[in-house]
Structure 1
Amino acid sequence: MRNIRYVQVILLVCIISLIIAACSGKDSTDKGKAAGVSLLSGNWDQVLAEAKGQTVNWYMWGGSDAINEFVDQKYGTLLKDQYGITLRRVPISDTAEAVNKVLNEKQAGKNQDGSVDLIWINGENFATLKQAEALFGPFATKLPNAKYVDYNNPAVVKDFGLDTEGYESVWGSAQFQFVYDAKRIKPSDLPRNYKELKLWVEKHPGRFTYNAPPDFTGTRFVKQLFYESSGGYQNWSKPFVQQEFDTEASKVWDYLNELNPSLWRKGETYPKTIAELMTLFNNNEVDFAFTQDVGGIATDIGKGKLPKTARPYVFDTGTIGDYHYVAIPYNAAHKAAAMVVADVILEPKTQFEKADPASGWGDGIGIDPSKLEDEHKKLYGELKAKTGETAIPADVLLKHKLPDLQAAYTPALEEGWKNHVLFQK
C-alpha cells in the first residue's frame, strides 16, 4: 500500500512539473511575441528610431548571382545610407533551412534574440511557421508602402490558398502565361479560355502540347483547367475534401483525354520541363509555350531560346499567379529593422529596378500600378517601354491573376493526372 501511495505521489509531482513547464514555455513564447507589440501599435517614426544601428539577418535562397548582387548592392547600400541599418544576407539552399532554425529555437525556448530576422518565403514554408505560431505580426499593413499593395486581390492575401493575415509582406510575383509566335498566329485567332483551346487544338492537330505534371508549369496548366471546369477558383478556397475533388476532377481528366489524340505526337509523350516545351516551340514543332516570368520573355529571345516574334498572353478567364513574400519570425532580434527592410523593398522605384532585367533580375512587381502617384507612373511607363511587346503590362497581369490552390490539391491533381491521363494510353 505504501508503494502504491509512493508511486501516486511521484506521478502527481511529474504531472504538476509538466504543467508548470508547459505554462512556462507558453509564457516565454508570449514574451517573445510581446517584445515587438509596441512596433505594431506605435507610429513609423518609432520603428525607424529603433531600427537605426541594427543588423538584419535576412535568410534567403542564394542560388542566383543576379538576385544576390541586387540585394547586397541596391538594398544594402540604400538601407545603410538612409536608415543606418546593416543588411546581412544569409544565403541558404532551401527556405526550409531557415524555417527549421526558427522552429528549433522555439522548441529550445529561445523566444527572444533569435538568429533569423527576416525570411524570403511563400507557400508551404509560410504555412509551417504560421501554423506553429512562430511569426511576428500582423505587420504587413503597418508598413507605409503597403498603400501600393492591392490587399483586395485574393492572390495577394492568400498564399497557396492560406490566408496571410498580415504575417508576410509582398516582395514580388510570378504568373502563368502562354507564349505564341506572332508570325504564325494572329492575336485575333488566339484561344482565350480552355474551351476555345480545345477547339483550336482539334483544328490544328499536333501543334499543341503541355509539359507533364509534376513539372511546376505543367501542374499549373492543369490547375487552371480545374478552375474553369468546376466554376472558378472561388469554389476551392476551402480545405481539401477527396469526394468533392474527385467529382470535379473527373471533368479535367475527360477534357485532357479527349485532347490527347490532337496533341503533339498524339499525346503519347509529353515534354518533361518548360525548357523542353520552349525548345519544341522554338523549333516550330508546336505553336505554344509557357512562361512564369512576369518581367517578360526578352531575355529568352535574346539568348535564342525563343523566336524574335514570340509574344506572351493570358486567357480572359485568368491564369494562376503567386506572390513571394518576406516574413519576420516571432523571436527575431531586430524586428524594427526587419520591418524597415520589408517597407523599402515595396518602394515603387526599387520594385521597378528589380523588375528591369538590366538593373535587377526581371522579377514581377508586387505592387499595384493603379495605386501609383504620378512620379511613379512615369517610372512604370519607362519600364513598360523597355520591355515592349515581350512583356504583358503588370496591370493587365494583375487583372487576370488567379490565386493558387491550397497545398493539398497539388499532389491530388498530379497523382490524378498520372493515373487518369498518363496511364490511360
Structure 2
Amino acid sequence: MNKVFLNSIVFAIALMLIAASLPVGAVEPLWKEDFNIKTEFDLKTLTQENFYEVIVPLAKKEGSFVFFDFSNSFAPLWTEHIIPLFEKEYGIKVQHNSVKGDVALQQMLAARNAGQPSPTDLFFVTSTQTQALIDNGLAANIPMYKLLPNAKDVDETLATVTNGVNHGGYMVPFHRNQTAMAYNAQFVNEQDVPKNFDELLAWVKKNPGKLAATSPLRGGSGDGFLTSLMLRYVEGRCRDALSNFAITDDEARAWIGEGCLDPVGQYYKEFNPNVEITNGNSDTLNLLANGEAYIGTVWEDMTYDFIGRGLLPRTIRLYLLEDGQVGGGDGIFLPADSTKPASALLFLDFILSRDIQVIKLQINGSRSARTDINVKELLSADDAARLIPDDQYPAHAVQHVPIPIKNMGKEWYEAKIVGQ
C-alpha cells in the first residue's frame, strides 16, 4: 500500500479521535489553533450546556471586573439598569468606566507591550474597530455565539459580521443601530415627505435651510448619509468595490481617484448650499427641536431617546428613504489579556438575554440581534411611534460599505466638498 496513502489514513483517524474526545458543542478557537486567553477553566470543554455549571462559581470567585464603555448615550442604561440587575443576581461587582474608544485601545496596546494585563475585562466598542482588534490580537478568539447560552436565539450573520468584517463571532452584537431621516409632522405632512434621494434634493431646493444635515466629519448620521449616497449613485464597474470587503486603504484611495464618487459629489454640490450643515448628531436634533429644521439626518435610537426624555416634540417622526439607508451595530468583546474571564463571560451572556435586550429596546430604542423580539408586542403604540415604521425597517435598511471606502470617502468629502 502506498506510504503516502497510509499516512493520510493515520492522520484522518487521528483527527477523528481528537474530535471524538471533545464534548458535543465545544467551541473551537478563531484564527489560530489555540485560544489566546488564559483561563482557570478549559475552553475546549466548555459548552452552552455546561456553561453555568462551570462559569458561575469561578465568576463569583473572581468577584468583580472592569468594563470599558465608549458610548455616552448608553451610560445610564448600564449604570442604572443592566449592571444593578447583574450585580443583584450574581453578587459580582462591575466597575463601569466611560472612555474614549481610541485612547482606551492605545492603553490596551501599551499594557500588552509592557507585558501587563489588560486595563479592562470587557469593552463596548464602536463597530469601526472590529478589524483593528483582530489585527492587534487584542480580542479573545472565542466564537461567542456558539458558547453563550443566551446566544442561541441570536441571528448568526449579525453575530459574526460587523461593518462588513467577518470576525467569526468574537464580538457580541449588543446594540443594533440605524441611520434615518426625521421630520416634524407639525410642519411637513406625511404625504409630502420626500421618499428617496432624488425627491429629497428637490425638497431642499424648494425649502432652503429647512433640512439639517449632520456633517460626515462630525457625526455618524452624516457619515451614514454619505455612505447611503454611495450605495444609491455609484454605478458601473465602480460599484463592485462597495461590496469588496477585502479592499485596502490604498485600493480605496485609488478607486476614489478614478472618479467613482463623482456622482455623489454632484449631489452634494446641489444639496449642501440648500441645507444647514451641523457639527454633530445632537446639533441636528436640536434644530429639529426648536423648529428651525423640518427634516434632518439622524440615528433612530438617539431620536427615540430624545423624544422619550422630552428633548424632541412628539410630532417628530422617523422614516427611511426607499433607496436604502445604512445601519449596523456596536458590540462588546473580551480582551485576550483579561484577568477576569469567567465574570466577563457571564456578563456577556447576561446582556444577550431576552429580558435585558427588551429593557434596552424600551429605554434606548436600541434594536436587537435576537430573532425572538417583536417590537409591536413589546412597546406601547406611543413608544413604537418613536421608531422607524415596521413596513420600512428592515426593508429599506442596508449594510455599510467596506471600512476603507467609508474612511477614504470621508477624506474625499473633506477635500472635495468642504475644501472647495
TM-score by length of structure 2 reads 0.76
Summarize the Cα distance change of 1:147–1:380 in structure 2 as closer, same or farther, 3 Å threshold: farther
Distance 1:81 1:175, change over 3 A: same
Single out whichever of 161-170 and 44-53 deviates more from structure 2: 44-53
Q: Does 1:133 align with 2:129?
A: no
Give SS of 2:261's match: helix
Q: Tell me the equivalent position of 2:92.
A: 86
Alignment of 1:299-314 (within 5 A): 299-300=306-307, 303=310, 305-314=311-320
Give matches, 1:9-408, under 5 Å.
32-33=36-37, 35=39, 38-39=42-43, 41-51=45-55, 52=57, 53=60, 54-61=62-69, 67-68=74-75, 70-72=77-79, 74-82=81-89, 84=90, 86-109=92-115, 115-142=119-146, 143-153=148-158, 157-216=160-219, 217-231=221-235, 234-239=242-247, 240=249, 241=251, 242-246=253-257, 247-260=259-272, 263-264=274-275, 270-294=277-301, 296-297=303-304, 299-300=306-307, 303=310, 305-357=311-363, 362-368=364-370, 371-372=371-372, 377=374, 381-392=377-388, 397-408=393-404
Deviations 1:302-353 (A, max 9, x none): 53x4343211111223222221111111232332332221111011211121
Which residue in 2 is equivalent to 1:415?
411
SS of corresponding position for 1:245: helix
Which residue identity lines up with residue 136 of structure 1 in the other structure? A
Q: Go from structure 1 to structure 2 and tell me whether the alpha carbon gap of 1:283 and 1:46 turns closer, same or farther (over 3 Å shift).
A: closer
Q: Which range is displaced more, 37-46 or 85-94?
A: 37-46
- Judge conservation of contact 1:144–1:343 (CA < 8 Å) in 2: yes
**Secondary structure of 2:228's aligned partner:** helix
Check the 8 A contact 1:322/1:404 in 2, yes or no.
Answer: yes
Aligned with 1:333: secondary structure?
coil
Deviation readout 1:212-263 (Å, 9 max, x if unpaired):
33111222211211121125795353324222233221111111113345x1
Go from structure 1 to structure 2 and tell me whether the alpha carbon gap of 1:403 and 1:307 turns closer, same or farther (over 3 Å shift): same
Q: Distance in 2 between matches of 1:122 and 1:283?
A: 30
TM-superposed deviation, 1:37: 8.3
- The answer to whether the 8 Å contact 1:98/1:119 transfers is no
1:115 Cα deviation from its structure 2 partner: 4.9
| Paired-residue identity, % | 18
1:396, distance to aligned residue in structure 2 (A): 5.0
Deviation at 1:416, TM superposition (A): 1.9
Amino acid at match of 2:215: A
TM-score, normalised by the number of residues in structure 1: 0.75
Structure-2 separation of matches of 1:324 and 1:209: 25
Provide the secondary structure at the position in 2 that maps to 1:392: coil
Matching residue's letter, 2:266: D
Query: In structure 2, how many angstroms separate the alpha carbons of the residues matched to 1:32 and 1:275?
Result: 40
Residues 364-412 of structure 1, C-alpha deviations (whole Å, 9 max, x = no match): 13224xx21xxx65x8623253513222257953443333344433442
Two-structure CA RMSD over aligned residues (Å): 3.3
The answer (yes or no) to whether the contact 2:324–2:396 under 8 Å persists in 1 is yes
Whether the aligned pair in 2 keeps the contact of 1:48 and 1:337 (CA below 8 Å) is no
SS at match of 1:148: coil
Give the direction of change, closer, same or farther, for the CA distance of 1:272–1:68 in structure 2 (3 Å limit): closer
Query: Does structure 2 retain, via aligned residues, the 8 Å contact 1:79–1:341?
Result: yes
**What letter corresponds to residue 408 of structure 1 in structure 2?**
P
Q: Do the aligned residues in 2 keep the contact of 1:59 with 1:89 (CA within 8 Å)?
A: yes
Matched residues in 2 for 1:37 and 1:88: separation?
A: 21
Deviations 1:181-201 (A, max 9, x none): 223333333223212322333
Report the AA paired with residue 148 of structure 1.
D
Question: Tell me, which stretches of 5 or more residues in structure 1 are unaligned?
Answer: 1-28
Between 132-141 and 41-50, report the one with greater CA deviation: 41-50
Contact 2:318 2:386 in 1 (8 A): yes
Gaps of 5+ in 2: 1-32
- After TM superposition, the structure 1 stretch with the greater mean CA deviation from structure 2, 243-252 or 36-45, is 36-45
Contact residue 298 and residue 387 of structure 1 kept, 8 A: no
CA distance in structure 2 between the aligned counterparts of 1:409 and 1:234, rounded to whole angstroms: 7
Query: Deviations 1:147-181 (Å, cap 9, x if unpaired)?
Result: 3322335xx64433322211110111222111112
Is contact 1:98-1:116 (8 Å) kept?
Answer: no
Secondary structure of the residue aligned to 2:263 is: helix
> Number of paired residues?
374
Structure with more of its chain in helix, by fraction: 1
1:85 and 1:337 in contact (8 A); partners too: no
